[in-house]
C-alpha cells in the first residue's frame, strides 16, 4: 500500500507518516489522532521498535489476528518490572497496525466504557486515562500517553496532516 516508513527515516518523518494515518482514521472512526499518535510513540519508541514486523501498539494476540509473534516484554507486577514472553499480534504494515488499534479502542469490549464516555465529553485526557489501566500494567501509563499527546511536535504533525487532507 505504500504506507511503510523505513526505520532509517528520521523520527519526524515517521511521526509525519503516522500522523497522516491517524488523521484519516480519526475521520473514519472518531478516534482522536493525538491519542493514536501518542500510543504509537510510547509503544514503539517513536516507530523504531515495533513488536514483530509491524505491531506499533503492543497489541496482544486475540482471536481476530491471523499473524502473531512472541516477544519478551516488561510488565509491571506488584510494582516491579518483570520480563515475560507474550504472544502479540503482528501486521503487514504500519497502516494495518494503526487500523487494528483504532478498531480495538472504538469497538473492543474492554474499552467500551471509556469510549462511550469519550463520545459524550470528547475529552482525550479522560479517554487516555480510561483505557490506560486496561491497556498497560504500568500505573503511570495514562500520564505518559497524555504527556506525549500534548507535545508540540505531535500537535504540529497532526496540523500538517490535516492541512494535506483534500477538502
Domains of the chain: 11-50+93-164 (1.10.530.10)
Q: What pLDDT score was predicted for residue 77? A: 83
Q: How many residues does the chain have?
A: 167
pTM of the model: 0.90
Residues 6+ apart with CB under 8 A from 80: none
Residues 6+ apart with CB under 8 A from 38: 128, 145, 146, 148, 149, 154
Nearest to 13 by CA among 100, 94, 89, 128: 94
Q: What pLDDT score was predicted for residue 116? A: 98
Nearest to 44 by CA among 63, 66, 71: 71
Q: What pLDDT score was predicted for residue 7? A: 52
Q: What pLDDT score was predicted for residue 138? A: 87
What percent of the chain lies above the pLDDT cut of 70? 94
Nearest to 67 by CA among 96, 42, 29: 96
Q: What pLDDT score was predicted for residue 2? A: 43
Nearest to 46 by CA among 11, 16, 18, 71: 11
Summarised one tens digit per residue, pLDDT across range 123-163 is: 999 999 999 999 998 889 999 999 999 999 999 999 999 99
Q: For 29-46, what is the mean pLDDT?
A: 97
Q: How confident is the model at residue 102 (pLDDT cuts 50, 70, 90)?
A: very high
Identify the bridge partners of residue 60 per DSSP, sorted by sequence position.
88
Amino acid at each position: 500500500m505504500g504506507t511503510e516508513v523505513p526505520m532509517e527515516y528520521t523520527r519526524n518523518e515517521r511521526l509525519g507518516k503516522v500522523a497522516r494515518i491517524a488523521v484519516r482514521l480519526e475521520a473514519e472512526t472518531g478516534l482522536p489522532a493525538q491519542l493514536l499518535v501518542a500510543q504509537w510513540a510510547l509503544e514503539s519508541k517513536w516507530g523504531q521498535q515495533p513488536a514483530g514486523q509491524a505491531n506499533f501498539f503492543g497489541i496482544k494476540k486475540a482471536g481476530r489476528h491471523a499473524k502473531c509473534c512472541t516477544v519478551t516484554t516488561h510488565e509491571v507486577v506488584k510494582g516491579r518490572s518483570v520480563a515475560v514472553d507474550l504472544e502479540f499480534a503482528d501486521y503487514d504494515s504500519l497502516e494495518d497496525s494503526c487500523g487494528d488499534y483504532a478498531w480495538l479502542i472504538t469497538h473492543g469490549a474492554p474499552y467500551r466504557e471509556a469510549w462511550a464516555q469519550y463520545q459524550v465529553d470528547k475529552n482525550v485526557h479522560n479517554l487516555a486515562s480510561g483505557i490506560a489501566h486496561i491497556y498497560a500494567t504500568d500505573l503511570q501509563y495514562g500520564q505518559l500517553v497524555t504527556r506525549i499527546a500534548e507535545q508540540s511536535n505531535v500537535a504540529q504533525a497532526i496540523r500538517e496532516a490535516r492541512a494535506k487532507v483534500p477538502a
